[in-house]
Chain A
Amino acid sequence: MQISEIIQALGLKAFTESAGLSRNATGGYTCDLLSDVMGHSQSGQIWITLQTHKNVMAVASLRDLAGVILVNGLMPNADMLAQAIEEGIPVLGTDENAFDISGKLFILLGK
């Protein structure tokens, strides 16, 4: 499913505005440990996390993730946002916690 459709369906904020909206998401991975995401996520997944620093984008890019959703109303640091735009990887946000948004994404993607 396209990122733009997911934004609409789940009412997400798009911090990166138009960047990467046409990327396709195949699933999700919910975790705040970067090495776990590095080792176990699959390309095309959306990463759900509370980490807001630039290294998130390094991992997302290296693992070919579809995008990042920040939970609990968190906002990306300026350098994270700049790298996300540069890489064309969407960074989205929600006021919901990781459990709730993961559940909604799971249902939306028909998992």
Chain B
Amino acid sequence: MLFEYSIKGGDFSTAGQASSRFKKVLQQLNVPPQTIKRIVIALYEAEVNIVAHAFEGTINIEVQPGYVVMTLTDKGPGIPDIEKAMEVGYSTASPKVREMGFGAGMGLSNIKNNADILEIQSKINQGTTLKITVNLNQENVIKE
């Protein structure tokens, strides 16, 4: 099954809508609550990153029997130093975004902690693509 959602950069009034819609899909598919939790945390953080940093973006989600792959592609500033961006507490968010309680430098680490595979590709002044894979059968997954 394939799902696609469009995200508008800067529009915090709709941030989280795609995650909310996909959460309902996962519930209908009877995915276990603990797995829904991991998928939704990773997806919401990635969705908010597009709203906070990019001009626009697209979320493509592929649901397979054993796993979910969420690919988030944005047009935006890109990430100059991905390793640095992954550090907890490092953030380039604007003061306005921080006042709302976002931009604490926890988003990407939240994504990493809840994903089984996380791939990030980014080009400066063009955009960023996140590919997040979460296994649906968590008992078969050995996590650190």
Contact = CB atoms under 8 A, between A and B. Distances in A.
Given A53-B12, A58-B15, A36 B104 contact: yes
A43 B37 contact: yes
B44 A62 contact: yes
A38 B100 contact: no
Given A33-B106, A59-B16, A39 B100 contact: no
Contact of B20 (A39, A49, A61): A61
A55 B99 CA distance: 12
Chain A interface SS verdict (over half): helix
Interface residues of A, number: 19
Interface of A: 32-36, 38-39, 43, 49, 51, 53-55, 58-59, 61-63, 79
9 contacts: A33-B104, A34-B100, A35-B48, A35-B110, A54-B12, A58-B16, A58-B17, A62-B40, A79-B13
Interface of B: 12-13, 15-17, 19-20, 23, 33, 37, 40-41, 44-45, 48, 100-102, 104, 106-107, 110, 113-114
